């Protein structure tokens, strides 16, 4: 197995230029995330955690510093290569689920495979299998409107998993859910982590962050705390 | 991503807003439908002209007395001396390019059979007339040279005259009266077809030219063996213009037209008459094309408008697709496909309406109408083209969205 860190960044900065003003939201951040870790990223709004999430999600490129994702240098990468990297290595889970409306759960889960080069064919089988893994094997034909919030988030997780990524990147995955459903989703993420996946969750809820093994806190564009913790054991 | 996937997502997106989509394509629908209908009428008319040309024969010259080159009718019909049979005989003798010729003398006369009467153009001709005009006899026979020269009281009717006087019964062997003189009907000409703008070619009757001279046109004759017009059939390999010039020279000489004076006769080429009609039709075709282009542009703007709305509404979807690995060209292709599919749906509906309307017009108005396969293909291709052209701006807008902003779009 590859022992190099999945994410490695050094002196990472990101500056947004708005007209004549420039705003530095990341002011030099360095850390590594090893393969198989379960990390929670916390911080108040304006702390730079969303920007960091965009960067390690390969949705954006850094202003300076170095960012390696699965060994690939993100800085200066062409947009098509970034798209390919996102498709291959990363599975996104969003607060608002972002499912295609009036489209069945199965079709939603298949979507990333349509954009994957050279691995069509068994898309149906793979999507079906992932939906069964998240406990929705009976609801393949349901559209998002026919599913509860928790079920929709499970569909979104099946979609994130369908390309066999190495990293699950969850942005406030429980932000739109009640406590009980939130715990179910976090248990599911814990299970994925135990199967060897790297999981990064961005949250502002301490209870959610307790599921992770490692907690990174950001404030004013800097990494201010990076601790190992005993995860809240999923029952 | 494969074409099938793009098509699938385009159809899903269109179905989500079915009503809006159909209304949007209204411009395309109307454009395509009007193109189909108007071009069907246009090519029907064109086909009719072609039939007339081949019916008349393009290698025919008509020679008649009186100037045709001054515009309008100068000095009336009687001001120029009429043609004589000797003129025609001279032309045939001296010009080997004339393969057949016949002269005719026209009079309008009332034809009476029992209680029915019908006024028609009665033409005195020779026995060769059907050959020169390439006109077949449908029933009975034409008159013989002996009858033509011997003043026989026999008549051959055009099909319209038969319909007016006899209905569906066969007239051959019946007696009819022409300007009071009894004639025996010996034959019926084949139908050449009624024509819009042109006179009914079947509303005619033919009698021997000698009979026409002695019985019907008596007091109007001014020269011996007078004839009205000469129809000359020219060898197809001959140069029509050269033959025309030769004819003019011979007739100027015979009719003693002084140098510099205008011809007191005219030589007309059937093709000349028809080319004017063709030119008029060409104008109609351009007008039609311009109308179609305008309605397709208007339709295209509608498509562009709704696609821009669609891109804005689906900003988050675009962001999501980008996050899970869609490349910019995937997004571009997706929205282009959607606008092309939208236009093609409009085109197909327009085609159906156009064909339906054409069918309706053929039923109601007795007009020749022809739907060309070319026009159908052009209409479909034009709708797809409109989809690409007017879908491009919205599609590029979608493809150039920043994935982060698109994902956060509220």
- Digit-coded pLDDT (tens) for A39-67: 999 999 889 998 999 999 999 989 999 99
User: From residue B166, how far is each of B28, B108, B136 by CA, in Å?
Assistant: 52, 19, 20
Strand partners, A21: A18
Residue B197 clears pLDDT 50, i.e. is over it:
no
Q: Phi and psi at residue A190, in whole multiples of 5°? A: -60, -40
What distance in Å separates the CA atoms of residue B225 and residue B212, rounded to the nearest whole number?
11
* B329 → chain A, closest CA residue: A80
Mean pLDDT of B44-72: 68
Tokens of B158: 């055009």
Chain B residues 13-72 with CB within 8 Å of chain A: 16
Picking from B5, B319, B326, the nearest residue to A83 by CB comes out as: B326
Q: Is A79 in CB contact (< 8 Å) with chain B?
A: yes
Q: Are the Cβ atoms of A115 and B407 closer than 8 angstroms?
A: no
pLDDT of residue B38: 82
Q: Are the Cβ atoms of A80 and B327 closer than 8 angstroms?
A: yes
Chain A residues 187-226 with CB within 8 Å of chain B: none
Among B128, B189, B132, which residue's Cα sits nearest to residue B155? B189
Cα of A27 vs its chain's centroid, Å: 22
Q: Are B232 and B61 in contact (CB under 8 A)?
A: yes
Q: B4: Cβ–Cβ under 8 A, 6 or more apart, which residues?
A: none
What distance in Å separates the CA atoms of residue B263 and residue B252, rounded to the nearest whole number?
7
The alpha carbon dihedral of A132, A133, A139, A141 has a sign of negative
Mean of the per-residue pLDDT values of chain A: 91
- Digit-coded pLDDT (tens) for B285-310: 788 778 888 888 999 999 999 999 99
- Highest mean pLDDT among A56-70, B57-71, B208-222, B361-375 belongs to A56-70
Tokens of A232: 């809240």
Mean pLDDT of B210-222: 76
Q: Are the Cβ atoms of A103 and B12 closer than 8 angstroms?
A: yes
Interface pTM (ipTM) of the complex? Answer: 0.93
Q: Is residue B115 packed enough to be buried (19+ CB in 10 Å), middle (13-18) or exposed (0-12)?
A: exposed
Residue A89 clears pLDDT 80, i.e. is over it:
yes
CA angle A134, A140, A142 (to 5 degrees): 110
- Within 8 A of A88 by CB-CB distance, chain B residues are 325
Q: Is residue B54 packed enough to be buried (19+ CB in 10 Å), middle (13-18) or exposed (0-12)?
A: exposed
Tell me B133's DSSP state.
Answer: T
Picking from B16, B325, B328, the nearest residue to A112 by CB comes out as: B325
The alpha carbon dihedral of B13, B17, B19, B23 has a sign of negative
- Within 8 A of B317 by CB-CB distance, chain A residues are 98, 100
pLDDT of residue A33: 95
What distance in Å separates the CA atoms of residue B330 and residue B332, rounded to the nearest whole number?
5
Q: Is B404 in CB contact (< 8 Å) with chain A?
A: yes
- Digit-coded pLDDT (tens) for B81-104: 888 888 888 888 888 888 888 888
Mean of the per-residue pLDDT values of chain B: 84
Q: Which residue has the higher pLDDT, B167 or A208?
A: A208
**pTM score above 0.90:** no
Q: Are the Cβ atoms of A116 and B325 closer than 8 angstroms?
A: yes
The gap between the terminal CA atoms of chain A, to the nearest Å, is 29
- Digit-coded pLDDT (tens) for A193-235: 999 999 999 998 999 999 999 999 999 999 999 999 988 765 4
Q: Is residue A112 packed enough to be buried (19+ CB in 10 Å), middle (13-18) or exposed (0-12)?
A: buried
Residue A174 clears pLDDT 50, i.e. is over it:
yes
- Within 8 A of A116 by CB-CB distance, chain B residues are 325
- Number of Cβ within 10 Å of residue B55's Cβ equals 16
Picking from A60, A96, A115, the nearest residue to B324 by CB comes out as: A115
What distance in Å separates the CA atoms of residue A171 and residue A43, rounded to the nearest whole number?
13
Q: Which residue has the higher pLDDT, B213 or B310?
A: B310
Q: Are A189 and A173 in contact (CB under 8 A)?
A: yes
pLDDT of residue B1: 64
- Could you give the 3-state DSSP secondary structure of residue B406? helix
Cα of B207 vs its chain's centroid, Å: 31
The gap between the terminal CA atoms of chain B, to the nearest Å, is 28
- Digit-coded pLDDT (tens) for A133-142: 999 989 999 9
What distance in Å separates the CA atoms of residue B408 and residue B315, rounded to the nearest whole number?
9
pLDDT of residue B136: 85
B75 — pLDDT class (breaks 50, 70, 90): very low
Q: Are the Cβ atoms of A92 and B328 closer than 8 angstroms?
A: no
């Amino acid at each position: 197995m590859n022992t190099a860190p999945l994410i490695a960044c050094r002196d990472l900065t990101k500056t947004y230029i708005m007209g004549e003003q420039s705003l530095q939201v990341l002011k030099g951040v360095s850390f590594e995330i090893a393969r198989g870790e379960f990390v929670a990223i916390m911080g108040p709004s304006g702390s730079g955690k969303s920007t960091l999430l965009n960067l390690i999600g390969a949705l954006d490129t850094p202003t300076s510093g170095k960012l390696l994702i699965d060994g690939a240098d993100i800085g200066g990468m062409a947009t098509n290569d970034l798209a390919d990297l996102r498709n291959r290595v990363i599975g996104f889970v969003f607060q608002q689920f972002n499912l295609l409306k009036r489209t069945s759960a199965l079709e939603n889960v298949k979507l990333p495979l349509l954009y994957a080069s050279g691995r069509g064919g068994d898309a149906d089988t793979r999507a079906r299998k992932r939906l069964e893994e998240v406990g929705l094997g009976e609801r393949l034909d349901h559209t998002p409107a026919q599913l509860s919030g928790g079920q929709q988030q499970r569909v979104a997780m099946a979609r994130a998993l369908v390309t066999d990524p190495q990293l699950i990147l969850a942005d406030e995955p429980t932000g739109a859910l009640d406590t009980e459903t939130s715990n179910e989703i976090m248990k599911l993420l814990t299970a994925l982590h135990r199967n060897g996946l790297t999981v990064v969750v961005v949250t502002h809820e301490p209870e959610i962050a307790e599921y992770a093994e490692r907690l990174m806190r950001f404030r004013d564009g800097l990494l201010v705390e990076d601790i190992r913790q005993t995860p809240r054991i999923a029952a | 991503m494969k074409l099938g996937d793009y098509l699938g997502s385009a159809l899903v997106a269109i179905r989500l807003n079915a009503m809006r989509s159909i209304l949007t394509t209204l411009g395309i629908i109307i454009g395509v439908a009007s193109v189909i209908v108007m071009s069907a009428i246009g090519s029907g008319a064109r086909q009719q002209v072609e039939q007339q040309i081949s019916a008349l024969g393009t290698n025919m010259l008509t020679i008649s007395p009186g100037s045709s080159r001054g515009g309008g009718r100068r000095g009336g019909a009687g001001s120029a001396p009429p043609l004589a049979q000797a003129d025609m005989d001279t032309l045939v003798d001296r010009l080997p390019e004339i393969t057949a010729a016949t002269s005719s003398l026209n009079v309008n006369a009332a034809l009476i059979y029992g209680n029915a009467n019908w006024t028609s153009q009665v033409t005195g001709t020779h026995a060769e007339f059907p050959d020169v005009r390439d006109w077949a006899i449908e029933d009975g026979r034409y008159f013989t040279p002996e009858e033509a020269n011997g003043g026989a009281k026999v008549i051959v009717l055009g099909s319209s005259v038969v319909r007016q006087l006899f209905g569906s019964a066969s007239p051959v062997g019946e007696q009819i009266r022409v300007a009071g003189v009894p004639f025996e009907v010996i034959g019926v000409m084949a139908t050449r077809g009624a024509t819009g703008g042109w006179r009914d070619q079947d509303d005619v009757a033919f009698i021997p030219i000698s009979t026409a001279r002695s019985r019907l046109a008596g007091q109007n004759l001014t020269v011996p063996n007078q004839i009205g017009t000469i129809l000359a059939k020219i060898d197809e390999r001959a140069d029509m213009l050269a033959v025309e010039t030769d004819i003019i020279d011979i007739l100027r000489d015979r009719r003693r037209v002084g140098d510099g004076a205008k011809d007191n006769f005219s030589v007309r080429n059937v093709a000349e008459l028809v080319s004017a009609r063709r030119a008029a039709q060409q104008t109609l075709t351009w007008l039609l094309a311009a109308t179609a282009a305008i309605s397709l542009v208007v339709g295209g703007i509608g498509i562009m408008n709704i696609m821009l709305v669609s891109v804005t509404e689906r900003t988050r979807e675009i962001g999501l697709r980008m996050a899970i690995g869609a490349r910019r060209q995937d997004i571009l292709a997706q929205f282009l496909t959607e606008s092309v599919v939208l236009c093609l749906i409009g085109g197909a509906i327009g085609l159906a309406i156009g064909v339906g309307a054409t069918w309706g017009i053929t039923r109601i108005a007795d007009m020749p109408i022809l739907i060309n396969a070319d026009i159908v293909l052009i209409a479909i291709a034009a709708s797809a083209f409109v989809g690409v052209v007017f879908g491009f701006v919205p599609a590029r807008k979608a493809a150039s969205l920043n994935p982060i902003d698109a994902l956060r779009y509220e």
